[in-house]
Amino acid sequence: MAHSCEHLLIVEDDPEMRDLLRKVLEKEGYRVSVASDGAEALSLLGKTAFDLVVTDMLMPVMNGLDLLHDVHRSRPSLPVILVTAFGDWAGYSRAVEEGAAAFIKKPLRMSELVSTVQTTLSRYTGSAA
């Protein structure tokens, strides 16, 4: 299914994972931009309209929760999906309180990522999943 109008921002500090996420989501028909950290993501968000952000939770300098907070301060309706290698319930609770659209644990299954992206976009933008 083509999703050519939907533009996603992937924020991931690991270059191999970032490239894999980009390729998987582009194969699904999404337009995808990538950032290697929160500062780069915020810079892109200041210049480009996105429909969804998918960010790693643990990154140097700015973690996913800090990015989520900054995104929602400037673009409160932009959905953010957090991805983490740690099943930390305190982090999960804080992410939900901060307004995370979804929370995915690693090891990441690509089918789960695609399904979560589709569901989130459908819920937040009204586009078909």
Task: Note the pLDDT tens digit of each residue in 72-121.
Answer: 998 999 999 999 876 666 667 777 788 899 988 888 899 999 999 999 99
Whole domain around residue 56: which residue ranges? 3-121
What does the pLDDT read at residue 8? 98
Is position 16 within any domain?
A: yes
Within a domain: 38? yes
pLDDT, tens digit, 9 for 90 and up, residues 30-43? 999 999 999 999 99
Size of the chain, expressed as the number of residues it contains: 129
Question: What pLDDT score was predicted for residue 129?
Answer: 44
Measure CA 95 to chain center.
Answer: 13
Residue 115 belongs to domain with CATH number? 3.40.50.2300
Ordered alpha helix ranges (H), 1-129? 15-27, 38-47, 64-74, 89-97, 110-125
In a domain, 126, yes or no: no
Residue 58 within any structural domain of the chain: yes
Domains in the chain, number: 1
Q: Has residue 129 been placed in a domain?
A: no
DSSP 8-state assignment for residue 10: E
- Has residue 114 been placed in a domain? yes
26/45 Cα distance (integer angstroms) = 19
Place of tokens 């992410």: 95
Q: Model's pTM, two decimal places?
A: 0.90
127 is a domain residue? no
Determine the average pLDDT of the residues in 31-58: 95
Higher-scoring residue by pLDDT: 125, 27: 27
Residue 128 domain-assigned (yes or no): no
